[in-house]
């Protein structure tokens, strides 16, 4: 019984450590870079980097697809509308805008990475 209580305590504390914020208005979920890193290590995910090409070429997360916010309206994405899409930029501003745009285009499961590449590099 004591082991079960300890396990459940660890499970709850671990769950609290993974930050997920969902806005009921937008339907977009914000995640922190620790959660992104965990998902990258344990799942195959679609990561969209919405920084400009020069920023992307200066360093990006392995496997991220570059689709700059400035041309996102014109790009046909290779994802189905119900596929989870993770969006990252430099600091979190452009990814929030891109997430909103994707939502308007009919994508239903969007994760906006809070703090962007700045937070990723500090992690």
Q: Which residues are catalytic?
A: 89
The span from the CA of 68 to the CA of 82, in Å, is: 21
Distances 57 to 42, 52, 92 between C-alpha atoms, Å: 25, 9, 18
Kindly list the distances between the CA atom of residue 87 and the CA atoms of 4, 7, 39, 48, 56, in Å, as whole numbers in the listed order: 37, 33, 13, 5, 13
Tell me the C-alpha distance between 114 and 68, whole Å.
Answer: 17
Q: Give ∠ CA 28-122-55 in degrees, rounded to 5.
A: 70
CA 4 – CA 82 distance, rounded (Å): 37
């Amino acid at each position: 019984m004591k082991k079960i209580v300890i396990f459940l305590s660890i499970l709850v504390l671990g769950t609290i450590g993974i930050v997920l914020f969902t806005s009921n208005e937008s339907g977009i979920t914000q995640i922190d870079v620790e959660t992104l890193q965990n998902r990258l290590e344990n799942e195959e995910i679609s990561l969209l980097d919405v920084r400009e090409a020069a920023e992307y070429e200066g360093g990006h997360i392995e496997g991220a697809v570059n689709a700059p916010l400035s041309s996102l309206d014109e790009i046909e994405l290779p994802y189905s509308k119900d596929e989870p899409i993770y969006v990252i930029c430099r600091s979190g501003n452009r990814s929030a805008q891109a997430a909103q745009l994707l939502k308007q285009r009919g994508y239903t499961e969007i994760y906006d990475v809070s703090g962007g590449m700045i937070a990723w590099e500090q992690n």
